[in-house]
Amino acid sequence: MVKLAEWRGKEVFRKYGVPLPRGQVARSADEAESLARSGAVPLPCVIKAQVLAGGRGKGGAVQFANNPEEVRAAAGSILGLEFKGEKVREILLEEKLPIARELYLSITLDRSKRRPIVIASAQGGVEIESVDDAQIDRQSIHPFPGLTVYEQRRAAEVLGLSGSLAKSLGSVLSALWNAFVGEDAELVEVNPLAVVVDGLVALDAKVIIEDDAAFRHPDYSEVRDDRTPLEEIAREKDIAFVQLDGNIGVIANGAGLTMATLDVLQELGGKPGIFLDLGGTDDPKKVTEAFLLMAQARPAAVFLNIFGGVTRCDTVAKGLVEAMKQVPESERFPIVARIRGNNEAEGTEILRAAGITSVPQLRDSAQAAVTLARGNA
């Protein structure tokens, strides 16, 4: 999932003709101030943290300023924020427009209907999850004709727009549709879409690009805002590594086994949080590399659950033991292993020699990992 920061989302909007406020990105208070002084950003202006989490408006991550001094102060305070766990490194400065109404408009994929869906609500500016369902209009779009004038008209009606505003909405919606299709997006969202004196303006932009279409959009490979630093390194090394909340590290092979392992840990009351899918590798060095990455995430315990096939048990065991030698004593964590399948006996022996017991039963080994993590938390 490639989630674009607001300013990148707005670049996409610009390309497809969605009307936007004038604005610039800055990375320091100095830069922000000089953008305001030079007139590159008209005053008064809005200063917005470029983080991926929503709810910035309520959380102090959107501020207003009337002069260059205020811009500097606001920029400084926003750049110092850690918003919902994410350090603010970039801010977007935009002209502050007088808003008459705030609307909600998005296009996403309705997976149960297997069709795109246009979502519209006159209650914009707040998170759509908090809007009363009766205030939300959903239109399923047939992909072959694509978005039609009929759907544009209905959206305008739902949003209470008539005359030239209804016309503007038609063109905004069709631009969003073109962006959705053209960029292989799974979501394009404008919240709020503001009614201003002379029309409609997208004040916010949320764009998520479908991962499976990444090969068609090489530009987005540079966008890595949604990865943790370790995930970043993993990606460069071609290691499937995901970091979420939770303190148990899981090393498995294949998506099916990895997910089943997570389920079992969860069921036993554990909190799996770092997943590493070894896939099909037969190189102990690769395993070592992957394991060292896991170690850097500082798990409370690691559960190694391998079904030996292409990835042979002894390969994994060798790689693991080599990695543990490289992890400093103070940073070590308990490891529970369950290795079954190809070369199981050799693998088990290598682990045993290094002081790690392989527990053959899934439930027993998972339970041990949960208990050890709890003890080490």
Among 10, 13, 18, 21, which residue interacts with ligand GDP (rule: CB under 6 A)?
A: 21
Q: Does 94 bind Mn ion (CB under 5 A)?
A: no
Which one of residues 50, 174, 191, 247 is an interface residue with Mn ion (CB under 5 A)?
Answer: 191
Question: Is 16 designated active site?
Answer: no
189 among known catalytic residues: yes
Q: Which of 70, 102, 189, 289 is catalytic?
A: 189
If the CB atoms of residues 204 and 231 are measured against ligand GDP, the closer one turns out to be: 204
8 in contact with ligand GDP (CB under 6 A) = no
> What is the CB neighbour count within 10 angstroms for residue 182?
12
Q: Quick check: 204 binds ligand GDP (CB under 6 A)?
A: yes
Report in angstroms how near the CB of residue 128 gets to ligand GDP at its nearest: 10
Q: How far apart are CA 326 and CA 337, in angstroms?
A: 19
In this structure, are residues 209 and 4 in contact, taking their beta carbons and an 8 Å threshold?
yes
Q: Are the CB atoms for 67 and 36 separated by under 8 Å? A: yes
d(CA 100, CA 104): 14
Among 277, 270, 195, smallest CA distance to 243 is for 277
102 binds, among ligand GDP, Mn ion, none (CB under 5 to 8 A by kind): ligand GDP
Size of the site for Mn ion (CB under 5 A): 2
The residue from 70, 90, 204, 344 that contacts Mn ion (CB under 5 A) is 204
- And the tokens for 292? 């060292």
Contact present, 147 and 174 (Cβ < 8 Å) = yes
Rounded to whole angstroms, how far apart are CA atoms 304 and 359?
10
Instruction: Choose which of 32, 176, 190, 203 interacts with ligand GDP (CB under 6 A).
Output: 203
Q: Kindly determine how many residues on this chain lie close enough to bind ligand GDP according to the rule CB under 6 A.
A: 18
How many DSSP H helices and E strands does the chain contain?
11, 18
User: Does the footprint of ligand GDP cover residue 207 (CB under 6 A)?
Assistant: no
* Signed CA dihedral, 365, 368, 374, 377: sign only: negative
Q: Which of 319, 269, 268, 257 is nearest to 294 (CA)?
A: 319
Q: Which does 256 bind (CB under 5 to 8 A by kind): Mn ion, ligand GDP, none?
A: none
Cα 105 to its chain centre, rounded Å, is: 21
Residue 96 binds which one of Mn ion, ligand GDP, none, with CB within 5 to 8 A depending on kind?
Answer: ligand GDP
Question: Which stretches of the chain bind ligand GDP, using CB under 6 A?
Answer: 21, 46, 48, 54-57, 62, 94, 96-97, 99, 102, 125, 191-192, 203-204
Give me the active site residues, please. Answer: 104, 189
